[in-house]
Amino acid sequence: MNYRHAFHAGNFADIAKHAILLAVLAAMKPERVLDTHAGAGLYDLDGEDARRTGEAELGVARLMADVGTPEVFASLKAAVARVNPDGGLRWYPGSPRLVVDALAPGASYAGFELHPDAHAQLAHALRAPPKGVRVETLKLDGYDEAARRTAADGGRTLLLVDPPFERADDYERVLALTAALNPATGALIWLPLKDLETFDAFLSRLEAQRPPSLSAAQVRIKPLDNPMRMNGCALVAVNLPDVDGATGTVCAWVADRLGGPGARGLVERLAG
């Protein structure tokens, strides 16, 4: 396991993922969230890893500096401001912090993270959850543990599936998880966009599982003409409330403001 999210925290893909995640949370009001690949929870943008890539400069720094950003980004901007109480932009919240701070009392969050350092940071980042929100952080395989837990009734459940895609079997394992979803569970899945063949093949296999609803959003920050690089990212919503309007606005803004020539955002409803 080589992937370290600290290099990429607050980049265009995080902005798209996290703004859409917050829109889903507001519409769904889940009783339980299972974060299959939780990461460290909170990232130091002044740290060596973040400074080495400079990705946050081209992502969250532009978002926070923008005036007149569409309303759909308001909760992400507020969450970033909350983790920087002295002003400035030193810290960026990962999905665990964003979810836990958005949950209502009585709801629960479980984050799974295999990397020992990231897991220790995750536990620290979530040490003081809002009153009444139950939090677990576990150094376990997120695919296996989420599948095991969704098999038992946990009420309205949101699965966030955000693998590093550094292993060849990540697509297979995501599809095994979606095939096992019960009707009370929905999934928001993040994917890299390198070439359209891989993405379309994934979507076709997902459609063949006949989920009650399915929506696919893309942020292309570069034309898809070089499959060896990350040209964008996608967020696929399975059996979740329809937030396509908000998702479309997020993808269009990220492509327009954080992308290069030929960038575009799009959202497509495939079922439901």
Ligand X SMILES: C[S@@+](CC[C@H](N)C(=O)[O-])C[C@H]1O[C@@H](n2cnc3c(N)ncnc32)[C@H](O)[C@@H]1O
Residue type, 164: P
The mark string for 152-181 relative to ligand X (x by CB under 6 A, - otherwise) is: ----------x-x-----------------
CB neighbours of residue 134 within 10 Å: 14
**Residue 75 is a binding residue for ligand X (CB under 6 A):** no
Sketch the per residue contact string, 25 through 64, with ligand X: x for CB under 6 A, - otherwise. ------------xxx-------------------------
Q: Residue 1 interacts with ligand X (CB under 6 A)?
A: yes
Tokens describing residue 132:
């009444």
| 207 CA to centre of own chain | 21
Looking at residue 237, the DSSP 8-state letter turns out to be: E
For the record, the structure tokens of 128 come out as: 């003081």
Size of the site for ligand X (CB under 6 A): 19
Q: Rounded CA gap, 8 and 14, in Å?
A: 8
Q: Report if residue 113 touches ligand X, rule: CB under 6 A.
A: yes
Nearest distance in Å: CB 188, ligand X = 10
- What residue number has its CB nearest to ligand X? 94
Q: Which is nearer to ligand X, 164 or 248 (CB)?
A: 164
- CB burial of 243-265 (b: ≥16 within 10 Å; e: otherwise) equals bbebbbbbbbbbbebbbeeebeb
Rank residues 101 and 162 by Cβ distance to ligand X and give the closer one. 162
d(CA 260, CA 262): 6
Shortest Cβ distance from residue 233 to ligand X (Å)? 11
φ/ψ of residue 244, rounded to 5: -60, -35
Query: Taking the complex as a whole, how short is the minimal distance between the CB of residue 43 and ligand X, in angstroms?
Result: 8
Which one, 117 or 195, has the nearer CB to ligand X? 117
Q: Nearest CA to 135 among 17, 32, 18?
A: 32
* Farthest-apart Cα atoms in the chain, separation: 50
* x/- map, 4-23, ligand X, by CB under 6 A: -x-----------x------
Residues that bind ligand X (CB under 6 A): 1, 3, 5, 17, 37-39, 94-95, 112-115, 118, 141-143, 162, 164
